[in-house]
Amino acid sequence: MEKFEITILGCGSATPSPKHYTSSQVVNIREKLFMVDCGEGTQIQLRRSHVAFARINHIFISHLHGDHCFGLLGMISSFGLLGRTAPLFIHAPQDLWQVLGKELDFFCRDMEFNVEFQGFDPDVTSVVYDDRSVCVTAFPLKHRVPCAGFLFQEKNTQDHLDRAAADFYGVPMWDYARIKEGGDFITSSGEVIPHSRLTRPSAPQRSYAYCCDTAYNPGMIPFIHGCTAMYHDCTYSSEDSDRAEKHFHSTASDAARTALEAGAGKLILGHFSARYTNENALLDEAQKVFPNSILATENLSIAL
Amino acid sequence: MEKFEITILGCGSATPSPKHYTSSQVVNIREKLFMVDCGEGTQIQLRRSHVAFARINHIFISHLHGDHCFGLLGMISSFGLLGRTAPLFIHAPQDLWQVLGKELDFFCRDMEFNVEFQGFDPDVTSVVYDDRSVCVTAFPLKHRVPCAGFLFQEKNTQDHLDRAAADFYGVPMWDYARIKEGGDFITSSGEVIPHSRLTRPSAPQRSYAYCCDTAYNPGMIPFIHGCTAMYHDCTYSSEDSDRAEKHFHSTASDAARTALEAGAGKLILGHFSARYTNENALLDEAQKVFPNSILATENLSIAL
């Protein structure tokens, strides 16, 4: 199966600490690397995780709280010092450019690569990235400030050719690509061999929903329904649900309920408050509702 | 002896890495805490070092390269989240405010404390902080951009009262303070007992010179002469002196020569290039010229 892997760089909330870096992760889909959020220290974690960071070309920022974007300037600056030449695309709520543009003008004037800023409105659902094999859609979460989730979807790959069937019907090699893409085959005697008899279906399309910094948000569930994995805000335990409500964050139970209702394959819990010395209580709480829950942790990679 | 202690938070150069954070340190003089430089991740290191960061009221920024100031915004923002109310003074080259002012306006509007920016010109020597017990002076270094060193000087403390002598001459307790500050005593019979016979001299005045990001800079030597300890740029080994020259940094030998010429008590080597896997070669090189050299390292505290 082709790669679809999440690497957690930081999964703490509010302020970085010796225990957790603030939000950042890398989504690797068939060796295309996408970064989601970029808290302070993300570049340190990138080095530590051995992610091939020169291959990150797109960064998605969910919202404009510091724990999700204070690492951008330092990381961009370091990319410059390390000789990057490929353009870097930042997809973020439009207002970020007011500050980031100024910062880059001031500190990063002599870089050999361009930062291409692409603003989006986190209050509406919109496709923020699309190519042959991957589509990334931003959708609204429910937070104190406008805040987006991101759905990463791989596109259907070509079906696999059944080599024995192809040989049996005399399909010439030059016609393989067309058949894998969906074509039928007509033999020399005029018989139509349907595509389905010559191929095996490709692996199912996988998807990953990043839903960080949100209160329980049923509105998004139809949109992310059936995702292979979901990262969800799990800032608090249910005992602190008053705090969750006040700050527009979720409890472990909220996260698990969302995963259940969304029919997610797996739930990754993250964005932990620093108040819990042991996050296993959060995991227990989630697993009571949604058994296939795991705790995010720095440098953890999860293959979908 | 009253406290005069340096705690290294970061001593790498250019970009933070898993091995070294970028420049930052805390100078504790009699429990007044001063921060010098603030690279990305400084707030993480502050937590790790158990420095009582709420007591940092003054931050000195040497120059406007990212590895010396990219941690400011995140740290200030976290101070706000953690409930700081005392004003925080940032002493930095004036231009920093162009960006930092914008950043704070954007990200830190609702903080309960004020950031007081006090610009200075790194191209001239000037007192940037002064109180009863401490004076901090900025002085020019020799770098690609205007860059300051900082000299921290404790002021003379009061002499210690010789209690036996005071009793012998019948000094009343209410007169102790005046005598410690330098006064003589006149006995009831009119005899003048000089201050020197009633006191022992206070500890010698200590000083610390922070000379980071500089080529060999003989111009500063008369100014810092006799400092108790010196932190000096030691980015390269002599084998890479061409790089040192090109980037306006120092080799270990340059640092040691400076310490020797300045009659420093101790040399702390820092701002290491990431190219050296083992910095002991840098230490060896320095110690050949100036034996009392040590390597800075994260979370090291050095008492003067």
pLDDT at residue A106 in the model? 96
Rounded Cα distance, A192 and A195, in Å = 9
What is the phi/psi pair of residue B208, to 5°? -135, 125
Preferred mutation among A49, A70, A75 to probe B, highest tally of B CBs within 10 A: A70
Per-residue pLDDT of chain A (304 residues; tens, 9 = 90+): 789 999 999 999 999 888 999 999 999 999 999 999 999 999 999 999 989 999 999 999 999 999 999 999 999 999 999 999 999 999 999 999 999 999 999 999 989 999 999 999 999 999 999 998 999 999 999 999 999 999 999 987 778 899 999 999 999 999 998 998 889 999 989 999 999 899 988 877 999 999 999 999 999 999 999 999 999 999 999 999 999 999 999 999 999 999 999 999 999 999 999 999 899 999 999 999 999 999 999 999 999 9
Per DSSP, the three-state class of B83 is coil
Residue with tokens 């009221």: B57
Closest CA to B179 of B203, B205, B192, B132: B192
Q: Under a CB-based contact definition with an 8 Å cutoff, are residues A39 and A72 in contact?
A: no
- The packing angle between helices A252-261 and A280-289, to 10°, is 30
Per DSSP, the three-state class of A270 is strand
Rounded Cα distance, B111 and B73, in Å = 13
pLDDT at residue A181 in the model? 86
The upper half-sphere exposure of residue B249, i.e. CA atoms within 13 Å in the direction of its Cβ, equals 23
Instruction: Name the CA radius of gyration of chain A, rounded.
Output: 22
Q: How far is CA A283 from CA A218, A230, B85, B274, in A?
A: 21, 15, 36, 39
What is the phi/psi pair of residue B251, to 5°? -90, 170
pLDDT at residue B44 in the model? 95
pLDDT at residue A159 in the model? 82
Neighbours of A144 (CB within 10 A): 13
Token pair recorded at residue A168: 């049996």
Rounded Cα distance, B62 and B141, in Å = 9
B16 and A43 in contact by Cβ < 8 A?
yes
Rounded Cα distance, B24 and B15, in Å = 13
pLDDT at residue B201 in the model? 83
Rounded Cα distance, A141 and A150, in Å = 10
ipTM of this predicted structure? 0.89
Strand partners, A26: A7, A35
pLDDT at residue B202 in the model? 81
Tell me the mean pLDDT per 10 residues along chain B, length 304: 94 92 97 97 94 96 98 97 96 97 95 97 97 95 97 87 91 91 90 91 90 97 97 97 96 98 98 94 98 98 96
Q: Which residues of A touch B16 (CB under 8 A)?
A: 41, 43-44, 74, 78
Strand partners, B92: B119
Q: Under a CB-based contact definition with an 8 Å cutoff, are residues B19 and B12 in contact?
A: yes
Q: How far is A235 from chain B (nearest CA, A)?
A: 16
Scan residues 55-94 of B and list those with Cβ closer than 8 Å to A. 64, 66, 70-71, 73-74, 77-78, 81-82
Closest CA to A171 of A159, A161, A181: A161
Cα dihedral B189→B193→B197→B202 (10° resolution): 130
What is the phi/psi pair of residue B67, to 5°? -70, 0
pLDDT at residue B156 in the model? 78
Strand partners, B91: B60, B118
Q: Would you call B18 an interface residue with chain A, using a CB distance cutoff of 8 Å?
A: yes
This prediction has a pTM of: 0.90
B40 and A71 in contact by Cβ < 8 A?
yes
Rounded Cα distance, B69 and B238, in Å = 28
Q: pLDDT for A123-153, tens place per residue?
A: 999 999 999 899 999 999 999 999 999 999 9
